[in-house]
Amino acid sequence: MEGDPSGDRRFLDIGGDLDGPVRLERGGTLPAVRVAYETWGTLAPDGGNAVLVEHALTGDSHVVGPAGPGQPTPGWWPTLIGPGAPLDSDRWFVVCANVLGGCQGTTGPSSAAPDGAPWGSRFPEVTIGDQVAVEAALADALGVDRWTAVLGGSMGGMRALEWAVAYPDRVGGLFFLASAAIATADQIGTQTTQQTAIRTDPRWAGGDYARGEGPVAGLGTARRIAHLTYRSPLELDARFGAGVQSDGRFAVASYLDHHAAKLAARFDAGSYVVLTEAMNSWDVGRGRGGVEAALGRVTARVVVAGVDTDRLYPPALQQRVADGLGVPLRMIPSLSGHDGFLLETVAVGGLVRELLAP
Looking at the DSSP bridge assignments, the partners of residue 36 are: 11
Cβ–Cβ under 8 Å, residues 147 and 139: yes
Residue 139's SS3 state is helix
For 40-95, the pLDDT digits (tens) are 999 999 999 999 999 999 999 999 999 888 788 899 998 999 999 999 999 999 99
For 173-201, the pLDDT digits (tens) are 999 999 999 999 999 999 999 999 999 99
pTM of this prediction?
0.96
**Total residues found in the chain within this entry:** 358
Hey, what amino acid is at 130? D
Q: How confident is the model at residue 5 (pLDDT cuts 50, 70, 90)?
A: low
For 290-333, the pLDDT digits (tens) are 999 999 999 999 999 999 999 999 999 999 999 999 999 999 99
| Pairing of the two strands 32-40 and 93-97 | antiparallel
- 310 counts as catalytic: yes
Q: What is the DSSP string of 239-302?
A: HTTT-B-TTS-BHHHHHHHHHHHHHHHH--HHHHHHHHHHHHT-BTTTTTTSHHHHHTT--SEE
Distance CA 329, CA 112 (A): 43
Distance CA 275, CA 126 (A): 8
Quote the crossing angle between the two packed helices 155-166 and 128-142, to the nearest 10°.
70
- 338 counts as catalytic: yes
**CATH number for the domain running over 187-278:** 1.10.1740.110
Q: Which of 55, 62, 227, 338 is catalytic?
A: 338
For 134-157, the pLDDT digits (tens) are 999 999 999 999 999 999 999 999
> Which residues of the chain does CATH 3.40.50.1820 include?
10-184+282-356
Distance CA 223, CA 237 (A): 19
7 pLDDT more than 90: no
Residue 54: φ, ψ to 5°? -110, 125
Q: Which class does domain 10-184+282-356 fall in?
A: alpha beta
> Which residues of the chain does CATH 1.10.1740.110 include?
187-278
For 253-271, the pLDDT digits (tens) are 999 999 999 999 999 999 9
Q: Which of 110, 310, 336, 339 is catalytic?
A: 310
Element at 189 (helix H, strand E): helix 185-199
Q: Which of 154, 179, 271, 281 is catalytic?
A: 154
2 pLDDT more than 60: no
